[in-house]
Amino acid sequence: MLMLTRRLVTALALTGAFTVQAQTPVHVGVAIPAADHGFTAGIVWWANQAKKELEAANPGLKITVKAAASAGEQANQLQDLLTTNKINALVILPQESAALTKPVQQLHNKGVYVTVVDRGLTDPSAQDAYVAGDNTAFGAVPAEFIAKQLGGKGDIVALRGIPTTIDNERMDAFKAVLAKSPEVKLLDAKHGNWNRDDAFKVMQDFLTRFKKLDAVWAADDDMAFGVLRAIDQAKRTDIKLVFGGAGAKGMVKILKDASDPRIQANVSYSPKFIYDAIKLTAEARLKGQKLPAKTIVPSVLITKDNAKDFYFPDSPF
| Three-state secondary structure of 162-226 | CCCHHHHHHHHHHHHHHCCCCCEEEEEEEECCCCHHHHHHHHHHHHHHCCCCCEEEECCHHHHHH
What are the Cα distances from residue 269, in Å, to 146, 192, 301? 18, 18, 10
Give per-residue pLDDT as tens, 133-150. Answer: 999 999 999 999 999 999
252 vs 257: CA distance, rounded Å:
8
Going by C-alpha positions, the residue among 85, 99, 92 that lies closest to residue 25 is 85
pTM here is: 0.74
Q: How many helices (H) and strands (E) does the chain have?
A: 10, 12
21-57, pLDDT tens digit by residue?
335 799 999 999 999 878 899 999 999 999 999 999 9
Q: Which of 203, 229, 219 is nearest to 167 (CA)?
A: 219
Rounded to whole angstroms, the Cα distance separating 267 from 221 reads 10
Please write the tens of the pLDDT for every residue from 214-251. 999 999 999 999 999 999 999 999 999 999 999 999 99
Burial (CB count <10 Å: 0-12, 13-18, 19+), residue 278: buried
Q: What are residue 204's phi and psi, to 5 degrees? A: -60, -40
- Calculate the dihedral angle through the C-alpha atoms of 242, 70, 166, 227, rounding to the nearest 10 degrees: 10
Phi-psi region of 247 (alpha: psi -120 to 50; beta: other; left: phi over 0): left
What span, in angstroms and rounded, lies between the C-alpha atoms of 184 and 133? 27
Q: Tell me which amino acid residue 103 is.
A: P
- Predicted local distance difference test score (pLDDT) of residue 23: 58
Distance of CA 115 to the CA centre of its chain: 13
Low-confidence stretches of the chain (pLDDT < 70) are 1-23
| CA nearest neighbour of 183 among 215, 224, 151 | 151
Give the per-residue pLDDT at 19. Answer: 30
pLDDT at site 10: 37
- Residue 21: what pLDDT? 34
